[in-house]
Amino acid sequence: MELQLFNTLTRQKEIFTQPDQSPVKMYSCGPTVYGFAHIGNLRTYVFSDLLRRTLEYNGFKVAQVMNSTDVGHLTDDADQGEDKVEQQAKREAKSALELTRSYEEAFLHDLDALHIERPTQWLRASEHIQEQIALIQQLEAKGVTYQTSDGIYYDTSTFPRYGEFARLHTAGQQEGARVQVNTEKRHPTDFALWKFSPANQQRQMEWGSPWGVGFPGWHLECSAMVMKAFGPTADIHTGGIDHIPVHHTNEIAQSEAVTGQALARFWLHGEFLIIDEGRMGKSEGNALTLKTLQAKAFDPIAYRFWLLQTHYRTKLNFTWEALEAAQRGWQNMTAEIERWGAIEPGQRNEDFEQRFHEAINNDLDLPKSMAITWELLRSEIPTNDKLATLLGFDRVLGLGIESIRPITLPEELNTLLQERETARQAKDWEKADTLRQQLLDAGYVVEDRPSGAFVRRA
């Protein structure tokens, strides 16, 4: 079955193939590790996880590289402002190393909690300084760089296709007005490859280079790491939608000016999680973390379950009510499966499987595949076949279906349940409530549904 993916490069769905059957070279721009990832960032990583799992479902092997931006990301994208990591390290009175390692660890925990498969390779910007310097030297040899008082810059006017990827009209484009515009830049879109350490300030993270002591520009690390891990061209490159006009546009200019080859065959971008009609972001002050959700008794998987209901190229507005509804939906699904009792998986249902596969292969139509999953659960096919089919779906959904243990109530609790049913029928509500409480104390919630008593784990 063909796998169609929406390629930002061409702005259309294209058939993805891997002619030589080698592992798919997938590069996912990683987090800037100066704080906890917010659930918006995590939406982007759930999206790349779904992409990776879909590729695996289709029989591809995937080699996924993710970078850790632990140096060089400035508070303003126009190469001005402070280094986010250095600034936060001062605030938390930690070394940059302590800070970034602890947030990297927190990030990887978030990935685990959301059942996001860990990247096969995790590369740190600060550990690839020589590769980045070498890349600047190659760019210098091509004559596409220039030096200013604060760094080495890429002259974007030398790259004729600059901005084509983002459909940018660069003529007359203004730099953001939030910080003072760098007057030494030749064009507003030029960007730093290497920044000099300020003369009056000792940075924690700085390195010697042919041009002077300093640190690499933010965009450079991804170009250097793709090259290191995969050579000139990755099969797939992913990130959030905000990366299109600046970060990925600049990665393309840097890499392709040197290699003369496409940086990636497919580019996929996840839409934003928004809140109160605005982007969720750390600097916007509206960021929620997975910890916040957990503190409010939300299961991280309820968040994943919620994300599955919206296509990755659609904006998604966060509300607590929506998350509550998702948590209920996830509990219902779990309870349904628990209720099947102790069974062995049977035969996978080909019809359901075919429809599910078609949905995910249509540019990851997870909302549709979730609808098919519910249909499967409510269908008349034998329970053990449902379970087998569902376990197959879960290779993509990543909900952790296999760890749902069927409920087989111990004998004495089963008796309590029967007694409660009898009490209810006799409209002895007091007794029914007492029995319900006893079951709850034993770890089981009883819900009364039109179909009868419904038991799930507390």
Q: Residue 27: enclosing H or E segment and its boundaries?
A: strand 24-28
Stretch that binds Zn ion, among 24-32, 54-62, 290-298, 363-371 (CB under 5 A): 24-32
Token couple for 429: 């509500």
DSSP 8-class letter at 422: H
Q: Is 272 in the site for ligand AMP (CB under 6 A)?
A: yes
Encoded one letter per residue, x for contact with Zn ion by CB under 5 A and - for no contact, window 218-257 reads ----x-----------------------------------
Q: Is 245 in the site for ligand AMP (CB under 6 A)?
A: no
Q: At what angle do helices 39-57 and 383-397 cross, to 10 degrees?
A: 120
Q: Is 293 in the site for ligand AMP (CB under 6 A)?
A: no
Q: Do strands 234-240 and 24-28 pair parallel, antiparallel, or not at all (unpaired)?
A: parallel
Contact 6, 267 (CB under 8 A): no
Stretch that binds ligand AMP, among 4-12, 28-36, 114-122, 318-326 (CB under 6 A): 28-36
Q: Is 240 in the site for ligand AMP (CB under 6 A)?
A: yes
3-state secondary structure of 38: coil
- Which entry of ligand AMP, Zn ion, none binds 222, CB below 5 to 8 A by partner kind? Zn ion
CB of 448 to Zn ion, least distance (A): 52
Contact 307, 398 (CB under 8 A): no
Stretch that binds ligand AMP, among 36-44, 58-66, 254-262, 423-431 (CB under 6 A): 36-44
C-alpha to C-alpha distance for 150 and 142, rounded to whole angstroms: 21
CB of 36 to ligand AMP, least distance (A): 10
3, 6, 36, 43: which one contacts ligand AMP (CB under 6 A)? Answer: 43
Residue 263: burial class (beta carbons within 10 Å; 0-12, 13-18, 19+): buried
Q: Is 119 in the site for ligand AMP (CB under 6 A)?
A: no
Q: Is 41 in the site for ligand AMP (CB under 6 A)?
A: yes
Q: Which is nearer to ligand AMP, 16 or 45 (CB)?
A: 45
7, 8, 18, 32: which one contacts ligand AMP (CB under 6 A)? Answer: 32
Q: What residues contact residue 17 under an 8 Å CB cut-off, 6+ apart?
A: none
C-alpha to C-alpha distance for 135 and 144, rounded to whole angstroms: 12
44, 67, 255, 373: which one contacts ligand AMP (CB under 6 A)? Answer: 44
C-alpha to C-alpha distance for 70 and 283, rounded to whole angstroms: 18
C-alpha to C-alpha distance for 171 and 372, rounded to whole angstroms: 48
Q: Is 29 in the site for Zn ion (CB under 5 A)?
A: yes
Amino acid letter, residue 198 = P
Q: Which residues bind ligand AMP (CB under 6 A)?
A: 29, 31-32, 40-41, 43-44, 69, 239-240, 242-243, 270, 272-273, 279-281
Binding region for Zn ion (CB under 5 A): 29, 222
